[in-house]
């Protein structure tokens, strides 16, 4: 404890810090001589005052606990700062808690720190450390593409090259940049790609990705190769489209108000090729050679249409289901030759048990409450054939540790799951069902494994942010 002075004479201030974590920083403060006075508390970080608090929570027992004499004055006070990172404190930077009046430290208030990653799952930490993370930004010009990339190198960092996997094997020059939020070394690059180079690529798409020099067919090499961007030639040649493009309103219902037809094609093709690589690795066959393929959350067919437009052919039976009646109606009218479409009940699939070989749900589990997630995992297990695969995406550690100031971050870190943010993308009437949801790896391992075998988790693969979780129904 401490005694301090001010210009008006002797003035005894006392203060203490009781708790410091991402949820709450709390303590008490009082002016011993004038307990009705509530001295203000400041949080100082890097020499700057970030937050000023005036205690306002009465604590009548505090005088007794401190053996102070009885007083007719108002009770002394606690102070609290909820969600300190969301209120402006920076993670991993020391801060101190002081009295505003004279800058004197509160007891236990010196050089505290809130770690950005306090309890990350060891498996997720190892995957993020090992991963080559690739984040592209692409803009379509009249007769070319502008591509910018950020590459975050593994820990410890190694040489990483990004190239266009076309006939010329063009490399994108990289320059070093500041470390990423995850603490990895980052490199930046950009390139203008003419239409002619896209059209000259082998196959139906131009692939941009990391050129891994790691030998063999390791898990990390597979993950790195999967984090690529595929540019379909259809973005420059509409004759390659297998069906009309949806209206922009349909696209917005799936991908948000900033998305457009170009992104619909590029990220639809990219997701399809990523899923196809997963199927080849874990099912032993491409998607086009599988029996029944189910697009759970088909939206306006962004991924499903690529089964045909990729040139790989078509699975024996392709099904697209979604709770969004507007987009299902569009798919049924415009993609009828690509598969069978139906409105999905909120209570489960209207499909036979053990009838599906391969199910994928892109950004579905990222929008469901915990109750509905567990219900759907049970339904997925039922409809998969023994040995059948399900590939689902989640907002994992790579997403929420990049925004430690977000309100949901401490909740998902501590409890493994967060589903309390409403999402009105498909209408306010569905906002109690349709959420913004986040998962930890340990939660998936402990909870999802009760329903299906966890085959693999690919961090920040889908749309270069969400994790792919590969699941299998056991054959037994």
3-state secondary structure of 445: helix
Mean pLDDT of 303-328: 86
- Among candidates 326, 274, 276, which has minimal Cα distance to 301? 326
Mean pLDDT of 299-314: 85
For the chain, give the mean pLDDT. Answer: 89
Could you give the CA distance from residue 473 to residue 390 in angstroms, rounded to a whole number?
8
Report pLDDT digits (tens) over 377-397.
999 999 999 999 999 999 999
Could you give the CA distance from residue 404 to residue 419 in angstroms, rounded to a whole number?
17
Report whether pLDDT(215) > 60.
no
Q: Where are the alpha helices (DSSP H) in 244-353?
A: 248-255, 261-282, 306-309, 325-334
pTM (global) more than 0.95: no
Q: What pLDDT score was predicted for residue 328?
A: 97
- The topology (CATH level 3) of 123-129+244-473 is Rossmann fold (3.40.50)
Burial class from Cβ neighbours inside 10 Å (0-12, 13-18, 19+) for residue 39 reads buried
**Of 131-145, 219-233, 245-259, 424-438, which range is least confident?**
424-438
Q: What angle do CA 466, 281, 274 make, to 5 degrees?
A: 35
Q: Where are the alpha helices (DSSP H) in 230-260?
A: 248-255
- Residue spans of the domains in the chain: they are 37-58+76-87+95-106, 123-129+244-473, 132-211
Beta strands in 340-396 (DSSP E): 340-343, 356-361, 384-394
- Among candidates 400, 417, 313, 296, which has minimal Cα distance to 350? 296
Q: What pLDDT score was predicted for residue 313?
A: 59
Both tokens of 51, joined, read 């937050």
Band the pLDDT of 34: cuts 50, 70, 90: confident
Q: What is the DSSP string of 349-418?
A: --S-TT-EEEEEETTSGGGB-HHHHHHHHHHHHHHEEEEEEEEEEE--HHHHTT-TTSTTHHHHHHHSEE
Q: What angle do CA 281, 397, 149 make, to 5 degrees?
A: 70
Report pLDDT digits (tens) over 341-374.
999 988 889 999 999 999 999 999 999 999 999 9
Report whether pLDDT(174) > 80.
yes
Q: What pLDDT score was predicted for residue 75?
A: 62
Burial class from Cβ neighbours inside 10 Å (0-12, 13-18, 19+) for residue 7 reads exposed
Burial class from Cβ neighbours inside 10 Å (0-12, 13-18, 19+) for residue 455 reads middle
Both tokens of 454, joined, read 């966890």
Portion of the chain with pLDDT greater than 90, in percent: 68
Band the pLDDT of 254: cuts 50, 70, 90: confident
Both tokens of 379, joined, read 């339904």
Q: What pLDDT score was predicted for residue 287?
A: 93
Could you give the CA distance from residue 393 to residue 407 in angstroms, rounded to a whole number?
21
**Of 16-20, 89-93, 155-159, which range is least confident?**
155-159
CA distances from 472 to 223, 260, 387, 455 (A): 18, 34, 6, 7
Band the pLDDT of 114: cuts 50, 70, 90: very high
Mean pLDDT of 199-212: 91
Could you give the CA distance from residue 150 to residue 137 in angstroms, rounded to a whole number?
9
Both tokens of 39, joined, read 């001295």
| More reliable by pLDDT, 105 or 9 | 105
Portion of the chain with pLDDT greater than 70, in percent: 89
Looking at the DSSP bridge assignments, the partners of residue 11 are: 4
3-state secondary structure of 360: strand
Q: What pLDDT score was predicted for residue 349?
A: 92
Band the pLDDT of 63: cuts 50, 70, 90: low
Residue 406, CB-side half-sphere exposure with 13 Å CA sphere = 18
In the 8-state DSSP scheme, what is residue 344?
P
Mean pLDDT of 163-185: 88
């Amino acid at each position: 404890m401490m005694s301090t002075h001010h210009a008006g004479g002797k003035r005894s201030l006392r203060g203490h810090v009781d708790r410091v974590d991402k949820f709450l920083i709390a303590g008490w403060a009082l002016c011993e001589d004038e307990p009705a006075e509530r001295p203000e508390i400041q949080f100082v970080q890097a020499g700057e005052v970030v937050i000023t608090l005036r205690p306002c929570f009465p604590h009548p027992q505090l005088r007794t606990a401190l053996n102070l004499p009885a007083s007719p004055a108002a009770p002394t006070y606690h102070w609290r700062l909820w969600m300190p990172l969301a209120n402006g404190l920076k993670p991993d930077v020391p801060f101190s808690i002081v009295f505003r009046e004279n800058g004197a430290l509160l007891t236990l208030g010196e050089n505290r720190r809130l770690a950005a990653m306090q309890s990350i799952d060891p498996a997720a930490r190892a995957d993020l450390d090992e991963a080559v993370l690739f984040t592209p930004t692409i803009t379509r010009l009249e007769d070319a593409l502008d591509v910018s990339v950020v590459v975050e190198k593994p820990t410890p960092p190694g040489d990483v090259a990004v190239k266009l996997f076309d006939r010329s094997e063009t490399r994108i020059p990289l320059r070093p940049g500041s470390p990423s939020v995850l603490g990895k070394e980052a490199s930046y690059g950009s390139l203008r790609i003419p239409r002619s180079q896209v059209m000259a690529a082998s196959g139906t798409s131009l692939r941009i990705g990391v050129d891994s020099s790691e030998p063999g067919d390791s898990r990390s090499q597979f993950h790195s190769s999967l984090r690529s961007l595929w540019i379909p030639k259809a973005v420059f040649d509409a004759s390659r489209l297998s069906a009309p493009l949806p209206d922009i309103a349909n696209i917005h219902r799936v991908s948000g108000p900033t998305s457009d037809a170009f992104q619909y094609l590029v990220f639809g093709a990219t997701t399809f090729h990523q899923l196809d690589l997963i199927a080849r690795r874990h099912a032993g066959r491409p998607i086009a050679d599988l029996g029944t393929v189910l697009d759970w959350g088909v939206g306006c067919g962004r991924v499903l249409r690529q089964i045909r437009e990729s040139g790989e052919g078509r699975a024996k039976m392709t099904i697209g289901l979604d709770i969004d009646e507007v987009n299902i109606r569009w798919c049924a009218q415009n993609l009828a030759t690509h598969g069978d479409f139906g409105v999905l009940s909120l209570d489960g699939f209207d499909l036979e048990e053990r009838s599906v070989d391969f199910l994928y749900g892109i950004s579905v589990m990222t929008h469901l409450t915990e109750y509905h997630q567990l219900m759907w995992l049970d339904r997925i297990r039922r409809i998969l054939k023994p040995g059948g695969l399900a590939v689902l995406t989640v907002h994992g550690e790579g997403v929420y540790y990049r925004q430690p100031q977000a309100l949901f971050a401490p909740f998902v870190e501590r409890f493994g799951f967060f589903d309390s943010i409403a999402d009105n993308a498909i209408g306010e009437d569905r906002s109690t069902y349709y959420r913004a949801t986040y998962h930890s790896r340990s939660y998936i391992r402990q909870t999802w494994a009760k329903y299906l075998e966890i085959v693999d988790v690919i961090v920040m693969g889908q749309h270069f942010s969400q994790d792919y979780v590969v699941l299998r129904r056991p054959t037994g």
